[in-house]
Each structure stands twice: as C-alpha cells, then as structure tokens.
A = this chain, B = another copy of it.
Amino acid sequence: MMKAGSIRIGVLGASGYTGADLIRLAAGHPNIEIAVLAASSHAGKPLAQVFPHLAFLDGPDLVKAEDADWSSCDVVFSGLPHGTAQDLIAELPEHLRIIDMSADFRLRDVETYKRWYGREHIAQHLLKNAVYGLSEHYAPQIADSRLVACPGCYPTAVLMALLPLAKSQLIDVRDLVIDAKSGTTGAGRSLKQNLLFAEAGEGLAPYSVGSHRHAPEMEQEIGLASGEKIILNFTPHLIPMSRGELVTCYVRRKDGVSAEDLRSALGQAYHDKPFIRIAAPGVLPATQMVRGSNYCLINVFEDRVPGRAIVIATIDNLVKGSAGQALQNFNLMCDLPETTGLKQLPLFP
C-alpha cells in the first residue's frame, strides 16, 4: 500500500457510492495512500463488509469521523451528503486540504443556498475561499485552493456542454431547455422505494421537475460566464441503469451562428483537455461510451427548428460527475499530471 512519495488521503462518507468510487480510483492512483476511511454508521467494520467489491483492496477499517487521525493525512475527500458535509468539514484541522463532493460549497450566494437546501450555511468563512471544482474551467484556482467544491453530476455535464457557448455569446442563455437523464446511483445509496430494482427497472420516470437542486448551480455558472442573470429549464429523468448520465440541451443560436459554429467553439475550448472530447460529426454520445471512465463526450446537432441547435453531453455520474473529477482536482492541487490515475478506458459492454 505504501507508495514512494505518496500523498496520504482520508475519505469522509466512505460508505456511499461516491465514496466507494473514490476509493476504487484512489487505489489505482500511483501517488495516493489511503490513510483514513470514515463512515460513522459503519465504524469498526472492514471496508469489505460495506462494499464487497473492495475486498480485494488492503485498506484501513472504517472509523467514525470524530475518531479519525487526521494528523496523518494531507488531503481529505468528502462524499458526505450536503449539510453533514459542512458540519464536519468546518471541524477539520487547518493543515488539511479538502475536496468536497457535496453541494455545500458550490453556491456563492448563501441566500440561494438557504432557499434550495433549507438551512443556514454555517461555514461561510470556508465558502468564501472555496473554488468551484469544474476542472477544465477553473484549473488555476483549483490548484491554489484549500477547499474545492466539486460540481454536481448534472452541472458537470451541462456546463461542459454550455459554458464555452455562453462565454463566447453564441447562444441565447435565456432560452435553455435541458432534458437530463441519469442512472439510479445519482440518488445515492439511500433506501428509497423508487430506487428498488422492481420499481426503477423496466421503466422511466421524470423527477424533481422544476425543483432540482442542481438548477441554481448551473444558473450561477452560466450566469457568470455570460454576464446575464438567467433562469433555465432543467428536467431530470430516472433511467433504469446504475451509472451514466446524458443531458440533451436545446439551445437557441444567436443570429448568424450555425450549429457547426457551436461545435467548433467547443472543439477549440477543449482541444487541450484530455478528458473532454467532441465526438466525430454526427456521432451521437451515449452513456455506454464513457461508463466507468472520467471522459465527457459532447456533440452538437442541427435542430430542424430554424435558429435552434441540440447539444448533447454524457458522463459517468460517479466518475467525471463525482469521484473522478474529485481526483482530477486532487491532481491539479498536488501539481501532478491531470490524468494521473484516471486513464482507464470505459467499460463496455
């Protein structure tokens, strides 16, 4: 386990899906040593008992967050749910750098946070210096930060697709319809009836229509990029698959802008970004093409409706949408090559 020159990490919320995927990826990272795994409800258990697929890994047993020996760690990843995340992160020793995968440090505006998450933000001093961890768009800031707030899975896919277009004023950001589709792990490992195999299988359901918490996050970033305050349509659907996410973005092009212009702009924005790929012309992104990997695949299509276009992006919600991007941010923070430990190709079929 001990790797030469390794950086010691801890994981908060090690018993959730994002925690597990972080551990899976970290185990294959040449510069990481897993020192602490915290999961309060499972403290004392070996990891294998909580995640049998990680039995092949020789990692530490789970501990309560408050019992963790943080002195031995350099970086902490948090896979805790929002609320709990800020409570625990606020208590972490100052020497730790923190990569949070919850929603707690994503929204700049505490009022917006309160409105969407239903509680006061108790760690505003940390929030002030937190960086929104959309790796390809905030790399320099991430490299220098102590606390990185990794984007939600949906915002990751949507912003990769739309941010360059908003920034370069190629689309009308006040007319955005985003129809999103996700596998069930997007909802975490919680025991909810609609997540049972018998209920989610062989079926398809929209959810949180007009009320999904990832909307303000996208509005914040697209607003910043375009310089306009916006409200967008975001409508997610639960798909009978475990992993994977695809967003179909219906956009209105600015006058004189073609669908091909949008595609070019994306190509230019990401030409040196190893994980973001514009698919070949006409190739339709599908979640199967990125499953298990840190890649994001994007393409643009002509709409039959004059003046419109369709931008489609797909990621693995647990990797580029969460643990993979977290690790990519870790690489940026530790001045390692951005792709270290993240080069696995997608698993298909």
Q: Which of B53, B231, B310 contacts A209 (CB 8 A)?
A: B310
- Which of A148-156, A162-170, A341-349 lies at the interface with chain B? A341-349
Q: Quick check: A292 and B292 within 8 Å, CB to CB?
A: yes
CA gap between A244 and B200 in the complex, in Å = 13
Q: Which of A81-98 contact B (CB under 8 A)?
A: none
Complex Cα–Cα for A209 and B308 (A): 13
Q: Which of B197, B210, B284 is A301 in contact with, Cβ under 8 Å?
A: B210
| CB under 8 Å from chain B, chain A span 188-235 | 189, 191-193, 195-207, 209-210, 215, 231-235
A304 is an interface residue with CB less than 8 A from chain B: yes
Confirm or deny: A27 has a beta carbon within 8 angstroms of a beta carbon on chain B.
yes
Query: A312 CA to B209 CA in the complex, in Å?
Result: 10
Determine whether the beta carbon of A56 is less than 8 Å from that of B235: no
Determine chain A's interface SS by DSSP, over half rule.
Answer: loop
Asked if B199 and A288 sit within 8 Å, CB to CB, the answer is yes
Q: Which of A231-285 contact B (CB under 8 A)?
A: 231-235, 237, 239-244, 246, 248, 250, 277, 279-280, 283-285
**Chain B residue contacts of A27, Cβ below 8 A:** 345
User: Does A302 reach chain B (CB closer than 8 Å)?
Assistant: yes
A37 CB to nearest B CB, Å: 14
A185 to B288 alpha-carbon distance, docked (Å): 15
Give the residue among A191, A205, A343 with the most B Cβ atoms within 10 A: A205
Check if B248 sits within 8 Å of A206, measured CB to CB. yes
Q: What are 14 inter-chain pairs, A to B, with CB distance below 8 A? A: A51-B348, A179-B248, A183-B202, A184-B198, A197-B199, A197-B242, A202-B243, A209-B284, A210-B301, A210-B302, A233-B304, A235-B248, A240-B240, A347-B347
